[in-house]
């Protein structure tokens, strides 16, 4: 079953609680954490995640676009994240970090920027609950979907299958009504959508529409 994770990066940050509740019924709420070092943008940190946790029953899918995730990721689990994604390009010890996230009770996920291949990390898949394939350069919402990432989605899905693992394959960046079917066909099963959800007149209806398209 396809999962749709609205990204609050495209929401109104002055009304985060209302914006989170506007998409209740979605599988997860995608929370983009940016530190202005790993990416050229700055968003929010641990206290905001703690507050969001109290504001909605939707589980939080925290995507850390930050330096030193080895230090910070465990704090996002403590803040209430149900899933924590670190960028492998920034992690000093990804295996230790994935194990720590799981030991603290959250799902552990590894993200790849567009220029980062999956193959060097094949042996890490068994330590993970999800792999996030970025389909834009991380940092901003509303960018155009990179079609050239479709083969990497497929290769990731194939590696997961070859190892007989239950690892979700998430896509993030430019996912919309016009790109989600291609992502699903390539093997993605978790879809992050920012502007396609919060830019819609009715965000909850946009989530339902995307979910229907993803299984089509």
Q: Does 40 bind ligand DX5 (CB under 6 A)?
A: no
Nearer to Zn ion, 122 or 140 (CB): 140
Q: Does 94 bind ligand DX5 (CB under 6 A)?
A: no
Q: Does 63 bind Zn ion (CB under 5 A)?
A: yes
Q: Does residue 172 have an active-site annotation?
A: yes
Q: Does 175 bind ligand DX5 (CB under 6 A)?
A: yes
Q: How far is the CB of 4 from ligand DX5 (least distance, A)?
A: 11
Distance CA 47, CA 30 (A): 16
> Helix 69-78 vs helix 94-103: angle between axes, to the nearest 10 degrees?
10
Q: Does residue 166 have an active-site annotation?
A: no
DSSP string for residues in 27-81 = S-EEEEEEBSSSSS-B---HHHHHHHHHH-SSPEEEEEE-S-HHHHHHHHHHTT-
Phi first, then psi, for residue 131 (nearest 5°) are -120, 130
- In the set 91, 192, 207, 210, which binds ligand DX5 (CB under 6 A)? 192
Question: Taking Cα atoms as reference points, which of 77, 7, 91 lies closest to residue 49?
Answer: 77
Q: How far is the CB of 140 from ligand DX5 (least distance, A)?
A: 6
Burial class (CB in 10 A: 0-12, 13-18, 19+), 75: middle
Q: Does 138 bind ligand DX5 (CB under 6 A)?
A: yes
Distance CA 46, CA 75 (A): 7
- In the set 27, 127, 129, 172, which binds Zn ion (CB under 5 A)? 172
- Residues that bind ligand DX5 (rule: CB under 6 A) add up to a total of 22
Stretch that binds ligand DX5, among 53-61, 121-129, 172-180, 206-214 (CB under 6 A): 172-180
Say if residue 105 carries a ligand binding annotation: no
Chain contacts with Zn ion (rule: CB under 5 A):
32, 63, 172
Binding residues for substrate: 7, 63, 139-142, 172-174, 194-195
């Amino acid at each position: 079953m396809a999962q749709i994770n609205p990204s609050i990066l495209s929401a109104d940050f002055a009304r985060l609680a209302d914006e989170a509740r506007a998409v209740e019924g979605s599988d997860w709420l995608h929370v983009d954490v940016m530190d202005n070092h790993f990416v050229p943008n700055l968003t929010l940190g641990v206290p905001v995640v703690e507050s969001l946790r109290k504001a909605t029953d939707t589980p939080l899918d925290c995507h850390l676009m930050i330096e030193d995730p080895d230090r910070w990721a465990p704090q996002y689990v403590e803040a209430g994240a149900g899933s924590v994604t670190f960028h492998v390009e920034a992690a000093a010890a990804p295996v230790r970090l994935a194990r720590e996230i799981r030991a603290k009770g959250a799902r552990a996920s590894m993200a790849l920027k567009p220029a980062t291949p999956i193959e060097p990390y094949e042996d890490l898949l068994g330590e993970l609950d999800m792999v996030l394939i970025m389909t834009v350069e991380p940092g901003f919402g509303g960018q155009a979907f990179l079609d050239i990432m479709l083969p990497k989605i497929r290769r990731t899905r194939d590696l997961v299958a070859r190892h007989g693992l239950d690892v979700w394959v998430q896509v993030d960046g430019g996912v919309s009504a016009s790109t989600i079917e291609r992502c699903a066909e390539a093997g993605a099963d978790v879809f992050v959508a920012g502007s396609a959800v919060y830019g819609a007149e009715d965000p909850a209806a946009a989530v339902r529409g995307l979910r229907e398209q993803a299984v089509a």
